[in-house]
Amino acid sequence: MRIFRNFRKSLACVVDKNISSQRTSTTTLTIRNVNPVLIEHLRLRAARNGRSMESEVRHILSSALGGNEKHETNLAEAIRRRFLPFGGVDQLEPHPPVPIGNPLVLD
């Protein structure tokens, strides 16, 4: 099969630029030097799921990167969670207070 031989050295597929929008614009993604064992696993996985290899790659990418992750809306909470593995932020010493001078008077 000519298509399978082409997939052995590089994996090419069409990926939606913006999955969440209804745009019809697409771009081509080429992945070179893919291990032939991975290609065979992809082929088998696509067959199990009733999809083409190209469709299976799109499905894998949209599952991994489709924007299902929760974005942190509270910056303080995000910082606190980031520093938890290092002992948290509760033990940090606050910055010493800086005296505020009188406001500048413009004549």
Residue 25: inside a domain, yes or no? yes
Contacts of 56 (CB under 8 A, 6+ apart): 42, 45, 46, 49
pLDDT at 46 over 60: yes
Q: What is the pTM of this model?
A: 0.44
Domain hosting residue 35, numbered range: 2-65
How many folded domains does the chain comprise? 1
Judge contact between 11 and 31, C-beta under 8 A: yes
Residue 98: inside a domain, yes or no? no
Residue 17: inside a domain, yes or no? yes
Give the model's pLDDT for residue 71.
66
Residue 31: inside a domain, yes or no? yes
Question: What are the φ/ψ torsions at residue 26 (nearest 5 degrees)?
Answer: -135, 165
Residue 20: inside a domain, yes or no? yes
Q: What is the separation of C-alpha 45 from the centre of its chain, rounded to a whole number of angstroms?
A: 22
Residue 46: inside a domain, yes or no? yes
Nearest to 9 by CA among 38, 27, 44, 34: 34
pLDDT at 53 over 50: yes
Region 28-47: mean pLDDT is 94
Region 43-56: mean pLDDT is 94
Residue 102: inside a domain, yes or no? no
Residue 100: inside a domain, yes or no? no
Per-residue confidence band for 18, with pLDDT thresholds at 50, 70 and 90: very low
Q: Whole-angstrom Cα distance, residue 51 to residue 45?
A: 8
Give the DSSP H or E segment for 68. none
